[in-house]
Structure 1
Amino acid sequence: MTPTRQGEEAAWANLRADDCAWLLTMAARAGDGGLALVGGAVRDALLGETPLDLDVVIPDADVEALAAGTGLPFVFHPAFGNATVTLPDGRAVDLVRARRESYPVPGGNPVPLPGTLADDLRRRDFALNALALHLSPTGARTLLDEVGGLDDLRARVLRPLHRGSFHEDASRLVRGARLAARLDLRAHPELLAQVPDALAVADRTPRLWAELRLLLHEPRPGRAAGVLRAWSAGALLPDTALLDALDARRDVGAEVPFTAYAAALLHAAPDPDALAERLSLGDRPAALLDRALSDTPFPEGTPERELRALLRPDAYPALTGRDVLALGVPPGRGVGEALGHLAALRRAGQLRSRDDERSALKAFLATKGPHLRP
């Protein structure tokens, strides 16, 4: 394993002060092997970002006992020997016993085996995620680069750790697209060579669908989907042009929630129900899509209006009950009759604007009884 001083102090400086204090305390309790901050936290810190999520590998100590000793709420996962500790601010820290893994079935869950810190880094997805900041029990810090991740990080290259990486776990392909879009990374040739392997086992990799759901939570989901297309993996999703359009709305300051992106994806899907089930989307995106496609008025800036502008570009704000009253219809059942008449004309495609609605309403009122006439 290669230690390096380059970037070590900068990475430590980019961690939150309270996280540094917590890590030092844990390292002092973790036995002779100390602990190692690994993965995305080290990567982001080296890029000058302040990581929020912490993944910690424990080379020697009993993970469950170490988690219990914090006095904080935690959940222990016996199958992998991991513990998830909840920090006072509500963030979760994963404590992982150093291990190696094997994949008896491509796409299935890995089988964990005891291992060293070097083994643990080599089981990861990409080289730039296999960096570690090791803390000894005395607090001495060492930046470890097991597989050339620092060079990849400097070159902004995303490289799988071995040739069978995507065959073992196809979800790594989608995770890579998320990272490439968010961090402006380019694919190593080895990554592109493995795309067919990932597509071949995609249907047997449940974690891939979880990663696609996480893609919709990215800062720019359309961009991440575009990376998949550029890598010849666009078949994992239905047409994503609407995601690009929603990205553009975010770029000008519009609030576009996850549910809007999910609704747009459902709209493009040949079988929306099957896609919603695979991505575990729940009911909210489909309900939002139904509202966006309806004639119900919604205020400017709402997800319904944002989606409607994309899905029904010829749509316009329909007359409301208040508008009908302003045109002279007396309060009462006549307002509902007038709105129902306009809704029927809209469904028939006979109205194209609010002016059309006003003209149609006037014609309707001229033929009705006194309870509707101004």
Structure 2
Amino acid sequence: MKPRSAEGGGNARAVWAALRPEDRAWLLDVAAQAGPGGAALVGGAVRDALLGVTPLDLDVVVPDADVATLAAATGLPFVFHPAFGNATVTLPDGRAADLVRARREVYPVPGGNPLPLPGSLTDDLRRRDFSVNALALHLSPAGVPTLLDVTGGLDDLRARRLRPLHGDSLREDASRLVRGSRLAARLDLTAAPELLGQVPAALDMAGRTPRLWAELRLLLHEPRPGRAAGVLRGWGAGSLLPDTALLDALDARRDAGAAAPFTAYAAALLHAAPDPEALAGRLNLGDRPGALLARALSDTHFPDGTPERELRALLRPDAYEPLTGKDVVALGVPPGRGVGEALSHLAGLRRAGQVRSADDERGALKAFLARNV
């Protein structure tokens, strides 16, 4: 089936104008070398351009060209992935652009990897997750742009509606449920009834969909991870994560300008998890979030504005900042070995629960110094 154009050239011109000049030049070069089928910019870049967001990620489908040959012809560094017949090209500014041969996909086993098969540009658009991600800006070899909409994505985009492309979409790939929550939170989209109706099937397949964990890790990189987790809860899929109240609190602190990096969100999730070690392994978090959590729960002093202080304020709201070496010197302990002995004494009192404020520590320090004069 030949893809159909969408509403004249206004949408195509809007997408084209939203692209960076250097990206337009690269796309024109690719289309000119890609054979009679030209090339199509697909997915998130087209969606974001129509929403007024400057596109950064370039995903390009070519119906006719050999991808490896075309990638080499760009003169840019690239890596070819033979399993799916696509190439990742490194643009001059360091961003990655994907060149993909048009294909269709079948899922031999729900939750497993799809099997790629040769296909048309229409097939390629219809294999995608949501209608708003199935829009394409096609460029002829002469560089003429046409916006293609084969799934009704434009209407859904106008309605800010997130709709899967077929009735088994989330069962085939349950990771789409998490990806959808990320998009909905970031772009203020509402779930279509077709999506909500597929949530139970997606949850049934979650344990057999390894890609779902990678999507949950990406959720922690969103501008507002707590909001994305809240979308999952609202869709009835809150069971995919432990309690996410701390993520909501971190969103609020990040919005206020606080330091809340990915590791802080991951540490907050570990704190809420019944089995933090297992969750860290499934999400491939590495050691840094756990180490950050341990520091936040400790009595070690950290300056204002650090992730440790931000987490501590949430995890231990009654905690106080213990005296530092500088404080101890100001209270009369000469610089040197005595400072360490005083701090060690105070740390022991904190562990025993005998001091509960900085004033308690000052009083305990004065008593300690009086005994050791």
Query: Aligned partner of 2:121: which letter?
Result: L
Distance 2:74 2:32 in 1: 12
Structure 1 vs Structure 2: percent identity of aligned residues? 80
Q: Confirm whether residue 10 of structure 1 aligns to residue 14 of structure 2.
A: yes
- 1:256-281 Cα offsets, whole Å, 9 max, x none, are 11000001001111111111111111
Deviation of the 1:334 alpha carbon? 2.1
Distance 1:219 1:3 in 2: 33
Between Structure 1 and Structure 2, how many residues are aligned? Answer: 369
TM-score between the two structures when normalised by the length of structure 2: 0.98
Partner of residue 246, structure 1: 250
- The alpha carbon displacement at 1:337 in A equals 1.8
Equivalent in the alignment of 1:21 = 25
Question: Is it true that 1:170 corresponds to 2:157 in the alignment?
Answer: no
Alignment of 1:1-374 (within 5 A): 1-4=3-6, 5=8, 6-368=10-372, 370=373
Of the structure 1 ranges 198-207 and 143-152, higher mean CA displacement relative to structure 2 is found in 198-207
The Cα shift of 1:203 comes to 1.1
* Cα deviation digits, residues 130-162 of structure 1 (max 9, x gap): 000000000111100001000000000000000
Mapped partners of 1:20, 1:162: distance in 2: 32
Residue identity opposite 2:71 in structure 1 = A
Return the alpha-carbon distance in structure 2 between the equivalents of residues 81 and 34 of structure 1.
Answer: 17
CA distance in 2, matches of 1:326, 1:145: 70
What runs of 5+ residues in structure 1 fail to find an aligned partner?
none
Query: Are the equivalent residues in 1 in contact too, given 2:29–2:74 (CA < 8 A)?
Result: no
Alpha-carbon distance in structure 2 between the residues aligned to 1:255 and 1:322: 25
2:189 partner letter: L
Amino acid at match of 2:25: A
User: TM-score, structure 1 length as denominator?
Assistant: 0.97
SS of structure 2 residue aligned to 1:94: strand
Q: CA deviation at 1:349?
A: 2.1
Distance in 1 separating the partners of 2:280 and 2:214: 12
Amino acid at match of 1:160: P
* Alpha-carbon distance in structure 2 between the residues aligned to 1:185 and 1:49: 15
Letter in 2 for 1:222: G
Letter paired with 1:89: D
Distance 2:33 2:78 in 1: 17
What SS class does the counterpart of residue 223 from structure 2 fall into?
coil
Superposed CA RMSD = 0.8
Letter in 2 for 1:75: V
Aligned-partner SS, 1:289: helix
> Contact 2:47/2:132 (CA < 8 Å) preserved in 1?
yes
SS in 2 for 1:7: helix
> Please, which moves more after superposition, 168-177 or 6-15?
6-15
Structure 2 unaligned regions, length at least 5: none
Q: Residue type of the partner of 1:329?
A: V
Take 1:174 and 1:307, find their aligned partners in 2: how far apart are those partners? 25
Question: Offset at 1:16?
Answer: 0.6
Separation of aligned partners in 2, 1:94 and 1:329? 63
